[in-house]
Amino acid sequence: QVQLVESGGGLVQAGGSLRLSCAASGSIFSIVAMGWYRQAPGKERELVATTTSGGSRNYADSVMGLFTISRDNAKNTVHLQMNSLNPEDTAVYYCNLRTKRPGVIIEAAYWGQGTQVPGTT
């Protein structure tokens, strides 16, 4: 059993900041990558930012220099600091976790329930 619990979000003005967090728990053998995706109404889900087990960080071009992803390995938690938010950042943000098991080629993927950004409260 692997679960992802998202937190953060809320009401924010244009140009403001929010911080999303995602904590993974359960039977996790090895984390390949952990990060965030987002999906706006009528659009495809897209990568926002991820961090790999090797420590590399990947960002969508649209958020480069504005969003920052960080990870607490001990707590299996990832944070997404979002600065200079604007209307085009409006979407449901989903935490994503990719794991692997020895001898298994296909990676397992897990998703959080989704967090609306900005929120109403």
51-97 pLDDT, tens digit each: 998 889 999 999 999 999 999 988 999 999 999 999 999 999 999 99
Q: Of the candidates 15, 22, 20, 7, which has an alpha carbon nearest to the alpha carbon of residue 83?
A: 15
Query: Per residue in 4-16, is it b (16+ CB within 10 Å) or e — as a string?
Result: bebebbeeeeeee
* Dihedral sign computed on CA atoms, order 43, 12, 15, 112: negative
Whether the pLDDT of residue 49 is over 90: the answer is yes
Given a cut of 90, whether residue 26 has pLDDT beyond it is yes
- Mean per-residue pLDDT for 37-55? 96
Instruction: Give per-residue pLDDT as tens, 107-120.
Output: 999 999 999 999 98
Mean pLDDT computed over 7-29? 95
